[in-house]
A and B are shown apart, each in its own frame.
Chain A
Amino acid sequence: MSPGTSAGAQQPNSDCDRIRNFSIISHVDHGKSTLSDRILELTGAVDPRMMREQYLDSMDIERERGITIKAQNVRVTFRDHVLHLIDTPGHVDFGYEVSRSLAACEGAVLLVDASQGIQAQTLANCYQAIEHDLEIIAVLNKIDLPAADPERCAHEIEQVLGLPAQGILHISAKTGQGVEELLDAIIERVPAPTGDPTMPLRALIFDSSYDQYRGVVSSVRVVDGTLRSTARLRFMQAGSVHDVEEIGVRTPDGVAVSALGPGEVGYLIAGIKDVGEARSGETVTDAAAPAADALAGYRDPKPMVFCGIYPVDGDELPDLRDALEKLKLNDASFTFEPESSKALGFGFRCGFLGLLHMEIVRERLEREFDLSLIATAPSVAYRAHLSDGSTVDVDNPTDLPDPSQIDHIDEPMLTATILTPSEYTGTVMELAQAKRGEMSKMEYLSPERLELVYRIPLAEVVVDFFDQLKSRTKGYASLDYEPAGYATASLVRVDVLINHVAVDAFSTIVHRSVADSYGRRMTDKLRQLIPRQLFDVPIQAAIGGRVVARETVKAKRKDVLAKCYGGDITRKRKLLERQKEGKKRMKNIGRVEVPQEAFISALRLDE
C-alpha cells in the first residue's frame, strides 16, 4: 500500500483493532536505524535512500554520536494494519522523554546486537517499558555476523528480564532476514490500543520541536475521544488554549488529516511559539468539552547539571543570548540566566538534564550559531544546611555561604547501573570506589557479564566517569543512572587565588579527600598559563582561609627585542602596538594582567 492510500484515512480510524503502536528500544549501533529502514522498505512507505535524509536523525550532533534525542514517529501499513513506529531518545539524560514516548505505545521491540549483548541503558529503558505494561518483543539483531552469539544473548535476556528465550526473534536488519516475521509478531503480540471515541478528548504530547515556519510541532497520541482539525484545544498542564492549525500523520512525509481517533499517533500544530508550552507529557483536551483529568505521568524535568557559558569574545554576548533563546524554543528542559565572572566577563548560568545534554547544547550553540564559547566546570545542585536551620540550594560554587555558616552539605546522588564483561570487574569496581560509589548489587547475567549497581554522587559521574569507564573497559561497559535523592558528604569549596585575589571561574565544590589534588592541579596549570608579570605572582588554592597548594609565577626578567634597526622598526612597533591593544583585552585580577585565553585554556585543560 502506498503512503498516499494509507494516509487517505480522512476519518478517524475507529478500528482500534487494526492499530499497533510500538517503539524500538536499543543501544547505539545495535541497528535501530537499519531496522527502521527495513521496516519502511518492506511496508513500501518510502524509498529507503530518500528516507535516510528525510526521516532519520536529522541533527548533526545526533548523527555523529549515533543517538536520537528528539523522538520521531512514522506510520506504516502492513497486512491491513496501521503500525506506528515511535522512536525513543537514546540517552540516559532523556529518561523522562523516553518514558513519555513509551507511554504512547502498547509494545516495544527490544533490539539487541547479538554480538554485543544487552547494554545498561537498553536494560533501563526496557524496565521502564515493563513498568508501562508494554508487550516486549525481544529481538536479536546481526545474526549474520560470525561474532554473533545469540544463545548467550538470549540467555542474558532471559536472566535479567525474565523473557523466555524461545520467544526471542533472530533477525538481520542488514539482510532483512526475519524482519517480516518481526512485523507479524508485532501484529500478533502487541495489544491493540483501547480507547473510547465517545469520551472527551485526551491526547498525550510525547515530543515537541520548534519549526521556524510552523512554530511548535508536537507528536501526539490520542488516548480517548477524537482530535479534530477544527478543535480548540486546552493544554491541561500549561493551562493554555490554542486552536488547531493542522493535524496529520507522518508516512514519514507529513500528511494532513481531519481527525485522529483513539490509539492513533500523529502530529499537531497549534500556533504555539515555545516548546515550553507543549512539553512532553502534556495532555490536550477539547476546550469545548474538556476531560476531567489529565493523563498520569507528567513531570517537569529539573536540570541536574549546571555550568557557566561565556562567549570567548565579549562582543558576542548578545548573540549568545539570542542563540540561547532560540534553542530554548526547541528544548524546554534547559535553563539559563545571566551571570558574570571576574575572569570570564558576562555570560549565562545554564542548567541541563545531564552531561550529554550539556554537551549537545554547547555544541549546537557553537555550530548552529557559530559562537565561540567557554564553559566553566560542570557543577551539580548542592544543598547546604546552615547552622541557623535553613537550607540553600547552590548550583554555582561561588554562591556557597561561608564555611562558618554551614552545618553540613548534601549532594545529589544517583543509582548507577553498570553492565560490564566480567573480565573488567576489578577495574570497574576500582573506578566506582574512587568516585565514592557504594555498591548495592552485583549479579552475573551470564558467566561473561556482570551487572553492578552503585549509589554514587552525581558530581563524580559528571566529571569524567563515563569516559573512564569506557576506556577502562575498552568500550564494553555500559552505564545507566537515575536520580537517587541526596546524601550528606564532607564537601568543601576550593578557591583559586591569583596574587591573593580569588578567581570565581575556578571555585569548585569537591569532596575533602580530593580538594588538595584539585588545588595542586589548578595552581600548577595556572602557573604555566599566566604570563610572567613584573613582580612575583603567588597562585594559591585555598579552602576557606587555609592554603592547600601554592605556586609562584616568577617575575619576568626579559622581554626586550635584541635588535632594532631600520628594517626592524615597523615590526617592532606593530608588536608593541599589538601588546598595547592586548593590554586592553587583559583581565585584571588585582594587579595581575591575565589574558582571557589563559583562563580559557585552564578550563579547557580541566575537562
Chain B
Amino acid sequence: MPWTKIYGNKADFEKAGGAGAGLRGLTYREALHEAASQLLESDQNVFVMGEGVDDGGGVFGSTLNLHKRFGSDRVMDTPLAENALTGIAIGAAASGMRPILVHMRIDFMPLTMDQIINHAAKWSYMFGGAVSVPLTIRSIIGRGWGSAAQHSQSLQSLFANIPGLKVVMPSTPYDAKGLLRASVYDGNPVMFIEHRWLYEHMGHVPIEPYTVPIGKSITRRNGKDVTIAAVSQMVFEAMQAAELLAADGIDCEVIDLRTIRPLDSDAVIESVTKTGALIVADTGWASCGIGAELAARLVERAHGALKAPLKRINFADCPTPASPALEKAYYPDRHTIAAAVRETFELKRSNG
C-alpha cells in the first residue's frame, strides 16, 4: 500500500517514485489542512477554534488562511483562555456542533484538565448515553524546541488513563488526514496529538475525504526477529533503526500504534508471539505509559511469548530540558532504538 510508507521529506518521496507513480504527495501539515478544510466545507456543524488559528503562521501552516475561506465565525481566533475555551467547545459539542479545538502546544492542555476529565470524558456515562461530546482537541508535541520543561512535553499517557477519552497520534500524512476526520465523527472526545517534527514529512494522500479507523494499529514493516511498537515521531525513528539493523541481518517488525486509547494490543501480542521480542518506543515518559500498558497486556495474555526482556524507549525520568547539552542526552532516536534491539536480539539468541 503506497500510503503506509513514510518519507522524511519531499525528496525521499520523489525518489521512491511517489508522484511518478501518479500518487499525490502531501506533507503532514498539508494533510491536516486539507482534512480541516474538507470537514468545514461539507459540514456546517464543524468549526475550528484556538489561539492564533487565523494568524500568519496558521498553527505551523495547518490552519493557514482557513478563516479567509470559511469566515471567522467558523475559524475563530480567541482570547487567551484555554480552560474556558475547552468548556465552550464542550458546550458546543453537547448541543450538536463538532468543534475542533487547537492548541499550538500540548503544554497548555493541563490548564484544561477539569473540562476534559470531569466533563467531556464523563457526560456520556453520567447521562446514560443521552449526551455525547463529539469534540476533537488537536495539540502538538515536539522535541528540542529549547523552551524546555513547560514547553516541550509529551503528555499523551495522562489522557490515555481516562475512560471516556480517545487518544490518537498519527505518524504519517495519510493517517493525519484520515484520523482527523475519524476523530471529528467519532462521537467521543478525541485527543488528537501531532508531532511538530512530522510536519514536513511527506506521503501519499488521496484527494477525496476518507477515515482511518481509531483503535487500529498498522504494521509498517514485516520482520521476524524483534517487534518494535512505536507511536508518532518514534515510528519514523523505528523505521530508520530497522534499516540500520537490516544491514546487520536483524529483521525488525515495526508496528505503528496510531491510537493509544483504545490501544491495539492484539496486533502487538500477535507479532510478539512470532518474534519473541518487544521494544516499545514512545515520545514521552515511561512511568504508567504506553510501554507499561503494552507490557502488562502482554503478560496478562501471552506471558510466555517473550524470549528476551522487553525494553522501553522513553524520555529520562525528569522534565524536558532546555540546554542543548542536556537535550542531547535526553532525547532517544534511531540509534537508541537500534542499540536496544541489538541487545534484545542477542539476549533472545543466547536464550535459544
A and B bound?
no
Query: Which residues of B line the A interface, CB within 8 A?
Result: none
